[in-house]
């Protein structure tokens, strides 16, 4: 059973939430700004500029544990191959086997608009004067970071037209293409401001509100550049010309990208427990079979940092995950498979390792400023290993190890959940770089290693899998989608929330027309087509 066990936010965030009013749950609320900041409020040591942005940082990926469970854990964390639940929610008819539960799937939308879009909009409306330039730039970067995740789940979103009503009272969505173009516009504006602040050695202005970098403009500039490169590669299949322009702009900015683990974008949760840890304590999540199979097969030293050994007598002492979309009768069947570790009270938004892999892929595409592909690839691996205090020297030179065959001795039907040797769903890609490999093999190497390094952010990993098809994952065995989601093509998105359909029917109807297919989990997003 999904637990409703709310984590109490720190006092300053709670106070700001009280100022904003109750959590936004409908169209009229999150498209109406009743909380504009007054000059008097802003004069109070910038509290009413900084606190909304603290909230946006906090909620970009972290939220109350039971909401996080619905927003990310039972979606991206599982669809990415990182995790799987041993719990047969709703008699094993749920998101894990492609029966998309409407009561679960509106939370990402709700959280995005209530705790990211709305507070940031208040800040943007209050910071048009030049003296607030740093807050305005920071707000734009945080808005893109939070809302690209919403778009990557649903597709079209309300972004550039947020707060604007049509004559019939509806609000129009941006197509995903238009939303991404708006993301790039926001990032370009923010990067220009941060570049100037860094070059002029401007004094820090938002240190007391920054949960990541302590107010460092230079670090936020690196993050913004890296985010720009991430999103440029995200659209490289659908819009290669725009992707190249945005990617090369990110690569050429003098502020650079995330480079070392000191640059990692890690949100400090303070006294609030990492939601993954709490969900684990409910015995509702375990490691996924793909992650354990790759790390076991590669003899990856990070495995002990990513998971614990199984305790179930049938697999005791092994690192073994649960395969997604299988027959699960009772929770106890798989509860003894590998747990996640006890993560600290921090949440990872982006790492330097990811930045190196982004540069490697940009190099494969021939983008100016990307550098040598092999060097970027190997540095990405080394940087990820160093994040966990491990050395990657021998790993990088391993040209024989491949993903391990998955064998599940606890399947209800013996052999049902196994992937036999030679299966097309089992990768044979090795680790060591090979300049003579095919373009597809090179891309698979880069994305597979990036997938390992991005853990535990399943939302981002799922997006990259949908874009590239890598790493190769095991398809579901039990598909409850009634034919709307292809087993071989995997789930592609989450359908629009019922609450939005009820409160903004005209907007949603138009948004469905922008999808290029029906409003279900089988329709590919724009950047994946």
What are the sequence ranges of the domains in the chain?
Answer: 11-276+341-528
DSSP β-bridge partners for residue 287: 83
The terminus-to-terminus CA distance of the chain in angstroms comes to 36
Contact 54, 12 (CB under 8 A): yes
C-alpha 82/C-alpha 66 separation (Å) is: 19
Buried b / exposed e across 160-172, counting CB within 10 Å, b at 16+?
Answer: bbbeebeeeebbb
3-state helix, strand, coil in the chain (%, to 5): 50, 5, 45
pTM, rounded to two decimals: 0.92
Question: Who's near 150: CB < 8 A, 6+ residues apart?
Answer: 108, 109, 112, 157
> DSSP readout, 192-206?
HHHHHHHHTTPPPS-
C-alpha 295/C-alpha 290 separation (Å) is: 9
Q: How far is CA 100 from CA 77, 87, 93, 427, in A?
A: 15, 16, 9, 28
Token couple for 473:
């994952």
Q: Does domain 11-276+341-528 have CATH number 3.90.230.10?
A: no
Judged on CB neighbours under 10 Å (0-12, 13-18, 19+), 245 is: middle
DSSP letter for 405, please: P
pLDDT 10s digit of each residue in the chain, 529 long? Answer: 444 433 333 333 333 333 333 333 344 454 544 455 555 555 557 898 999 999 999 888 877 899 999 999 999 999 999 999 999 999 999 999 999 999 999 999 999 999 999 999 999 999 999 999 999 999 999 999 999 999 999 999 999 999 999 999 999 999 999 999 999 999 999 999 999 999 999 999 999 999 999 999 999 999 999 999 999 999 999 999 999 999 999 999 999 999 999 999 999 999 989 999 999 999 999 999 999 999 999 999 999 999 999 999 999 999 999 999 999 999 999 999 999 999 999 999 999 999 999 999 999 999 999 999 999 999 999 999 999 999 999 999 999 999 999 999 999 999 999 998 778 778 999 999 999 999 999 999 999 999 999 999 999 999 999 999 999 999 999 999 999 999 999 999 999 999 999 999 999 999 999 999 999 999 999 999 9
């Amino acid at each position: 059973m999904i637990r409703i066990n709310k984590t109490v936010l720190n006092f300053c965030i709670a106070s700001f939430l009280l100022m904003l009013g109750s959590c936004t749950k409908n169209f009229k609320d999150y498209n109406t700004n009743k909380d504009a900041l007054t000059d008097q409020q802003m004069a109070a040591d910038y509290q009413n500029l900084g606190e909304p942005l603290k909230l946006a940082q906090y909620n970009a990926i972290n939220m109350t544990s039971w909401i996080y469970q619905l927003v990310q854990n039972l979606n991206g964390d599982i669809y990415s191959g990182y995790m799987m639940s041993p719990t047969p929610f709703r008699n094993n008819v749920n998101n894990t086997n492609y029966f998309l539960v409407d009561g679960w799937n509106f939370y990402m939308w709700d959280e995005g608009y209530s705790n990211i879009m709305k507070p940031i909009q208040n800040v943007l409306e209050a910071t048009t004067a030049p003296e607030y330039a740093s807050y305005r730039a920071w707000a734009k970067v945080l808005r893109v970071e939070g809302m690209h995740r919403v778009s990557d789940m649903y597709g079209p979103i309300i972004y550039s037209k947020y707060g604007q009503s049509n004559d019939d009272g509806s609000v129009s969505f941006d197509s995903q293409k238009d939303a991404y173009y708006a993301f790039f516009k926001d990032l370009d504006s923010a990067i220009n401001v941060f570049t100037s602040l860094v070059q002029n050695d401007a004094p820090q202005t938002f240190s007391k509100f920054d949960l990541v970098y302590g107010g460092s403009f230079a670090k936020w500039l690196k993050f913004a550049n890296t985010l720009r490169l991430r999103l440029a590669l995200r659209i490289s299949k659908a819009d290669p010309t725009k992707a190249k322009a945005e990617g090369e702009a990110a690569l050429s900015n003098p502020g650079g990208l995330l480079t070392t683990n000191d640059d990692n974008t890690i949100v400090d949760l303070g006294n609030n427990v990492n939601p993954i840890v709490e969900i684990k304590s409910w015995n509702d999540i375990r490691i996924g079979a793909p992650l354990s199979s790759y790390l076991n097969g590669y003899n990856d030293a990070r495995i002990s940092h990513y998971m614990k050994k199984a305790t179930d007598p049938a697999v005791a002492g092994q690192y073994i995950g649960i395969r997604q979309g299988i027959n699960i009768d009772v929770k106890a069947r798989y509860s003894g498979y590998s747990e996640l570790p006890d993560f600290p009270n921090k949440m990872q938004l982006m790492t330097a390792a990811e930045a190196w892999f982004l540069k490697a892929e940009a190099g494969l595409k021939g983008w100016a400023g990307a550098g040598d592909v092999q060097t970027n690839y190997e540095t990405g691996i080394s940087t990820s290993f160093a994040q966990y205090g491990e050395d990657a020297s021998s790993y990088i030179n391993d040209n024989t190890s491949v993903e391990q065959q998955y064998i599940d001795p606890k399947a209800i039907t013996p052999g049902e959940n196994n992937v036999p040797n030679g299966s097309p769903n089992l990768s044979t890609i090795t680790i060591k770089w090979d300049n003579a490999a095919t373009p597809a093999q090179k891309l698979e190497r880069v994305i597979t290693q990036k997938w390992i390094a991005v853990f535990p952010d399943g939302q981002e990993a799922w997006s990259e899998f949908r874009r590239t098809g890598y790493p190769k994952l095991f398809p579901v065995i039990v598909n409850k989608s009634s034919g709307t989601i292809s087993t071989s093509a995997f789930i592609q998105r989450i359908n629009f929330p019922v609450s939005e359909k009820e409160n903004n029917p005209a907007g949603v109807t138009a948004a469905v027309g922008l999808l290029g297919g029906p409003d279900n989990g089988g329709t590919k997003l724009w950047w994946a087509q």
